[in-house]
Amino acid sequence: MPTKRKETSLFKIILIILLLGGITVGVLRVSNAVRGKMDARVEAAAMENLERAESLLQNGDTVEAEKLLQPILDRVSNPAISPRALMLRADLDEKNGNIESAAEHLRIASQDFPNSSDRPEAALRYAKLLEAQGKVNEAFAVYDDVSRTAPPALRAPARLALAGQREAAGDVDGAYAIYQQVMEDTDLHSEDWFEAARRFGKINVARI
């Protein structure tokens, strides 16, 4: 009799474990399904909410902008959406004086989404913040990458930064060549073209 009772108790324990396991699996499946639907809903509304968040930031309403941005940052991983959300979050951080957080969001935007069309802009902004923080070596490594891989319109600011670095280090000829390259590759009416021309002319005057 004691043996049968032990076997019955063991059977009940196993049955309870199986039932609990089944319930847990079911709950997880339902939870994942609900999360998936919520993620899809957030992603579907993301572009519209990014536009609204950008408008709110322009008007200085960082609180309401954050309410729109955070669900996108938490639930969406899409190269057509996420980098822009991260850059807007960086804008918000900068408005709040949190430069380190802004730099981190820009780092993620530029490094985690390499095929995004927003990647060069995010990388350029990341380099500028690194430079502002005094992280010069890191900044110029990013500038160098942007100068080689970004579309021409976004290469110019990076090249100007690199040329300025060379000029400050005494490599005037190297800087001169970069300024000339910027003028050749950049739109004649752009601010970068005029800046390159100004520095280029300054070197020429100094050589007279």
pLDDT (tens digit per residue) in 38-84: 677 888 888 999 999 999 999 999 999 999 999 999 999 999 999 99
Q: What pLDDT digit, counting tens, does each position of 159-174 carry?
A: 999 999 999 989 999 9
Sign of the torsion angle spanned by Cα atoms 188, 193, 195, 198: negative
CB 182 within 8 A of CB 160: yes
pLDDT (0 to 100) of residue 39: 73
DSSP-derived secondary structure for 89-100: HHHHHHHTT-HH
Question: pTM for this one?
Answer: 0.76
The residue among 129, 122, 180, 176 whose CA lies nearest residue 150 is: 122
Q: How confident is the model at residue 153 (pLDDT cuts 50, 70, 90)?
A: confident
pLDDT (0 to 100) of residue 36: 55
Burial class (CB in 10 A: 0-12, 13-18, 19+), 2: exposed
pLDDT (0 to 100) of residue 6: 52
The answer, yes or no, to whether residue 32 has pLDDT greater than 50, is no
Q: How confident is the model at residue 201 (pLDDT cuts 50, 70, 90)?
A: very high
pLDDT (0 to 100) of residue 53: 94
Q: What pLDDT digit, counting tens, does each position of 102-136 carry?
A: 999 999 999 999 999 999 999 999 999 999 999 99
Average pLDDT over the chain, rounded to whole?
Answer: 86
The answer, yes or no, to whether residue 21 has pLDDT greater than 70, is no
